[in-house]
Every structure is written in C-alpha cells, then in structure tokens.
Amino acid sequence: MMTPKERLIFALDVSTRREALALCDELAGEVGMFKVGLELFVSEGPDLVREVARRAPVFLDLKLHDIPATVGRAAAVADRLGVHYLTVHVDEGGRSLAAAVEACSATRILGITVLTSISDADLQAAGLSTNVEQTVLQRAQLAAERGVAGIVCSGQEASRVREAIPKSMEVITPGVRPAGTNADDQARVVTPAMARLAGADRIVVGRPIRDAKDRVSAARALVAELG
C-alpha cells in the first residue's frame, strides 16, 4: 500500500545538473519519485540519471517512439541505469512496447496513451476519427495486452482506464494542477483529489511545485490532498 507521499512524482523540468540536484536535495523527503524528462536528459545525459537515482526512484520520461529493435535496445540501457519507470508511446501499434518490456529486468514500462496537451480537435487535425477518451481506452487496452506495468493518461480518462486494465497495473496521471492554478499548456487537467478519486495511483506534478515560493510547502499540500 502506497503512502500519499509515494503517490507524488515531481517533474525535474529544468535543463542543468545544478538545478536538478538542488531540487532533488530540497524535495527528496517530500515526494516519492523524481521524473527526468527530455530537456534534462538531452542536456545532462545518463550520468545525471544515476545521480538522481541515488536520492530517490527515477521516472525516466523519454516517451520512446521508434521501431521495436531501437526501442528495445534503448529500454535495455535504461534498465542498466536502474530507473524505476520508462515511458514508451503506444500509438505505433504495440510491438515496440513488447520489445521494451522484454528488454527490461527491473525497469517498469509505462504506455503513453494521449498526451495531456492534446484535445479532440488536435486528434481530428491529425486525421484520427476517434475522440480523446476513445483513443486513450483503445491504447490502454493494447498496452495492457503487451505486458506493460502501467498506463499514462489524464485524470479525465483515469476512471475508464482503471476499469479497463488489470488491477495489478498502475495508472499514472500527469497534467495535475491544484485548484485555482493555471493550466499552462495542458488541455486536460484535474486536481490531485480528482485524480485519486478517478483511480490514479500516482500523479506527476512539475511547475506548481517548481515555481512555488515555498516548494516544500507546495509539495506537502499536494501530498495532503492525495491522502
């Protein structure tokens, strides 16, 4: 059973080792996991991932999207780095997901369904005939069939996804904002309490903590809401 603190993943959305490790040292006792995304990984690389992993579990959010052989090899490298989660896009059809799962002995693969910045209009502009919720459910079910450990979706779809996948799988929800705050570039946002009520196991939060005047207090407020 996870504690409320373990349910909170903090996104290290900065570009330098100095900034990232300062945030880690400030928040290591307040959050359950640190997310390393594309900006920080491209800037600082695998060595930074190893340094963060010495402080707390790492969610390596690279959103891999390539042919199965390439995704599988990249996942094997992430596995050797000791990361807890690695993300792979579902929309290539599932073979790359299966390759990533097969390549890892400890790292848990998460299937990215539809980014929280995407709306129904965006999908239609890209030539898809389904809406966001239908697309998320289809991709979540496909990812579950390929053996992933969890699904990444917005809190708006979390309850339907929770019903559609095995209980052993996790639902991870980004695009979470405290009530009354700016949605920024997110199209589908929920509050922490709404995400938990919908069945999300963990939430990912970046800017509301990073940009707060008192980051520790901001993290603790989110944890309290998750409790």
Task: Please list, in sequence order, all residues whose beta carbon lies within 8 angstroms of the beta carbon of residue 76, skipping any fewer than 6 positions away.
Answer: 103, 104
Q: Is residue 37 within 8 Å of 61, Cβ to Cβ?
A: yes
Q: How many helices (H) and strands (E) does the chain have?
A: 10, 8
> Structural domain boundaries of the chain?
5-226
From CA 155, how far away is CA 192, in angstroms rounded?
9
Residue 168 has pLDDT above 90, yes or no: yes
Take residue 225 and report the two structure tokens written for it. Answer: 């809401």
- pLDDT tens digits along 109-155: 999 999 988 888 988 898 887 899 999 999 999 999 999 999 999 98
Take residue 192 and report the two structure tokens written for it. Answer: 């922490």
Active site residue 35: no
Amino acid at 219: A
- pLDDT tens digits along 56-101: 999 999 999 999 999 999 999 999 999 999 999 999 889 999 999 9
Q: Which fold has domain 5-226?
A: TIM Barrel (3.20.20)
Question: Which of 40, 33, 44 lies closest to 8 in space, CA to CA?
Answer: 33
Take residue 197 and report the two structure tokens written for it. Answer: 């009520």
The pLDDT of residue 175 is 82
Catalytic residue among 35, 63, 167, 213: 63
